[in-house]
Chain A
Amino acid sequence: SQTIHQWPATLVQPVGSPLSLECTVEGTSNPNLYWYRQAAGRGLQLLFYSVGIGQISSEVPQNLSASRPQDRQFILSSKKLLLSDSGFYLCAWSAQMNTEAFFGQGTRLTVV
């Protein structure tokens, strides 16, 4: 069966520090991969999605970047965190021809 792992679960980082959140998927190949963010009091927002290795699409301009170095690995990064980067980050995957999305457990990021 397919599983998705996302870590860390919680993270407190100072303003200006770098960020790296990692997401891996097991049990499937060539998944679509997604990073979402939920800021306090707001709905989910799609940040990045990827349909293959090295293929990244960004939905909104921001202080973040994403990379997909391997088929089932998706990384969310920042060189210098801002206070506004605080929020709940979710990684998700979906099969190429399937409409269901499966989510990781999320990372609660607090920038102080």
Chain B
Amino acid sequence: KNEVEQSPQNLTAQEGEFITINCSYSVGISALHWLQQHPGGGIVSLFMLSSGKKKHGRLIATINIQEKHSSLHITASHPRDSAVYICAVSDTGNQFYFGTGTSLTVIP
């Protein structure tokens, strides 16, 4: 069993839809990261959070420490949001564990 599980693996949405990507983890963490990888491979760090909720533009990330669960939401999705979204956690020893990613395609 992986330390970090993401769902769904693949997601196709119509432009404007509200999107949710889920992440569950099994280790004790110091922080959880949401990453975005664009076609071509470059990775952008979207959020780093250890509690509560963070918002940046149309992106919202939440974390529930007790349930060991995080969600990434995209409001009013757009084709430029098409990318692979990766959940990663760093444990108290700063070891990183990565989910396998969610491939999102937003259709105009």
Contact = CB atoms under 8 A, between A and B. Distances in A.
Interface of A: 32, 34, 36, 38, 42-46, 49, 88, 90, 92, 94, 99-101, 103, 106, 108
Given A94-B41, A101-B84, A43 B48 contact: yes
A101 B43 contact: yes
Interface size bucket, B side? 20 to 34
B108 interface: no
Given A99-B37, A99-B38, A99-B103, A88 B43 contact: no
* Dominant secondary structure of chain B at its interface with chain A: strand
Contact of A100 (B42, B46, B84, B95): B84
B42 A43 contact: no
Most buried by B among A46, A94, A99, A108: A99
Given A43-B45, A99-B103, A108-B94, 20 more contacts: A36-B43, A43-B33, A44-B33, A44-B35, A45-B45, A46-B42, A49-B41, A49-B42, A92-B41, A94-B37, A94-B41, A99-B38, A99-B39, A99-B83, A100-B103, A101-B37, A101-B86, A103-B96, A103-B98, A106-B96
A92 B43 contact: yes
Most buried by B among A43, A46, A90, A100: A43
Interface in B39-56: 39-43, 45-46, 48
